[in-house]
Chain A
Amino acid sequence: MGGELGSLVAAKLEAEPWVGALVGVDVDPPRRRLRKAEFHLLQPSQRERIVDVVTKFNPHVVINLSVWEPDARAGLAHARQFTADAATAIIGAAAECPALEGMVVRSGIEVYGRERNSATRPTESAPMHPTSEYGLMLANVERQAREVGKRVGIAVGELRLAPVLGKHVPSPLGRLLRQPVVPFSLFADSPFAVIEDGDAARAFVLAALRRLNEPVNIVAPGAITTLQAIMRGRRVPLPMVGPEWSIASRLSHVFGAPIPDHVVELMHRGRLADGAKALDVLGFSPALSTPEVIDHLYAWESVVRIGSIQEAVA
């Protein structure tokens, strides 16, 4: 509930008439003003406290958004550890709640992997062959949730999100695309799809409402290549052929935008998925297309002068 997506989901849930009480757990405080929700500031490693909070509340639905994308808010090692700890604690605690009817977990289209001859636009029935660290982390979360769902007999829905971008979402892809000079793969420049954070939050609310019990891809319509995204953002494209990617990623790290392996994979091999099932199962259709999400990303002002806000208010 403390991350951008978590805060958005909580804010949307508060507005839903079917939501009675709401409890959230995160390592950061909420980024939005929440009126109804009760928040607990807990580390993923504090398993006993998390279990205590969740079981005392005894929810009907649990939404597990605690996935740390590598190099978004933490480096790879920490992201892997936090995600595993949080999944164990939250999914484990959910299994102990007698009133629980359903669980929705955050996953990503990285679980399909991009090995040679893998489907161009995988549907939910495509096998999971993650080929990046992030994909493996997400596949583990899905597996844990599904095992618990089978054991305690609850509905488990997995929302496989395309890379989530938004003005304030910590995302390695978003951060990289906003650099003044952005590398792209000259020979591949494959297309990818994304999803806006507000749309992703809406999908979670619908999944919780409908007690989703299957995986669903959440993808904005349309696609864009890295070069096209760079041109839309009026950044400087830096063509890369192959071996210099490692140098570029190190340089990018120094400038504050590390490039994890799943982002390199996206730029080389593309990342598309079929999002048609979301409309059938959840009645969900994204408000913004992929090129619009990219525009939205670039519409963010890097510096907002406090003085100018005060003047505007006055």
Chain B
Amino acid sequence: MAQLIEFPVKAATRAGNALAQPLRAAWPTHSVDDYGRDPHLIGALAPFAKLRWSVTVGGAHQLPTNTGALLVCNSRRYSLSAIYAALALGEETERPVRFVGRPDIAPIGSFMRRIGGLLATPADVLNALSHHELVLVAAEGTSHPRNAGKVPHELVGPAVVAGVAVFPVATMSSTIGRAARVEVGPAVRARRKRRGPLAEVELADQVQHHLQRMLDGFGGVQTGVAPIDWLAEG
């Protein structure tokens, strides 16, 4: 007579449950949204982010409360300005702010998706904007903290298509200190109505111009010792 050997399902499940119970208790099992952002993970990482950045946010009241908007920030190289600005604005507005520019390679890409990263493609930006999300795009990185780099017009295009407002967001952080500042400016309106792709190119230029003006308004640290000023500016 053949014997039926059964896999000890109940025993395995019991053992597994005993092992996984601490993890299950600590982590909710439905915490990702439609784009893969995990608010619970962001909440858990917030204390660590605050160890690195102490962000002062200004002008966040100008952002819409229900509709989508494209935010464009300046970026000093290696400053991760898009990430700290998105986290700080998300906390301030109590709305998820998604930053653009995650790589599509695990594990870093997967991790950045969980903290709100989108791919730097017009399709991803348009999709989020048309679903009334706040999306933060970084301008090209610069070596000087108070220079606004070129704003990628191909990522501003989705805002024109979706018909949402574009806000400049000036950021400033220090390479050695924790102090960081995020200032949201008023929405940038296109000077001319264009029917074609010039609309996004001109709007991107205008946003860069606005960003530069805001950064100029920030001023800089003046201790009289140039290297210290440079480091303090970040």
Contact = CB atoms under 8 A, between A and B. Distances in A.
14 contacts: A117-B104, A119-B127, A120-B119, A120-B124, A121-B124, A122-B123, A123-B127, A126-B123, A187-B107, A222-B33, A223-B32, A224-B29, A229-B29, A272-B34
Nearest to A221: B34
Interface stretch (A11-19, A23-31, A73-81, A230-238): A230-238
Nearest to A182: B16
Interface class of chain A by DSSP: loop
Given A180-B7, A231-B20, A236-B12, A120 B35 contact: yes
Interface of B: 7, 9, 12-13, 15-17, 19-20, 23-24, 27, 29-36, 104-107, 110, 113, 118-119, 121, 123-124, 127, 130-131
A119 B32 contact: no
A126 B121 CA distance: 12
A224 B107 contact: no
A185 B33 CA distance: 19
Contact of A119 (B19, B27, B106, B119): B119
A174 interface: no
Contacts, number: 101
A229 B28 CA distance: 11
Contact of A121 (B24, B30, B34): B34
Contact of B13 (A221, A235, A274): A235
Interface string A183-225: 0010111110100000000000000000000000000011111
B132 to A, nearest CB: 11
Contacts of B107: 187-188
Nearest to A231: B29
A180 B19 CA distance: 13
Contacts of B32: 191, 223-225, 228
What 10 pairs between A and B have smallest CB-CB spacing? Answer: A236-B16, A187-B107, A188-B106, A191-B36, A291-B30, A119-B123, A180-B12, A231-B29, A232-B29, A187-B106
Interface in A286-304: 291
A237 B12 CA distance: 11
A62 to B, nearest CB: 32
Interface in A261-276: 268, 270, 272, 274, 276
A116, A120, A193, A291 pick with most chain B CB within 10 angstroms: A120
B30 A222 contact: yes
Contacts of B35: 120-121, 223, 272
A291 B201 CA distance: 41
Given A116-B104, A223-B34, A235-B16, 20 more contacts: A119-B121, A120-B113, A120-B119, A121-B34, A122-B123, A123-B127, A180-B13, A181-B16, A185-B106, A188-B107, A188-B110, A190-B110, A221-B34, A222-B33, A223-B35, A228-B30, A234-B24, A272-B36, A276-B131, A291-B30
B16 A223 contact: no
Contacts of A291: 29-30
B196 to A, nearest CB: 19
Contacts of B31: 228
Nearest to B110: A188
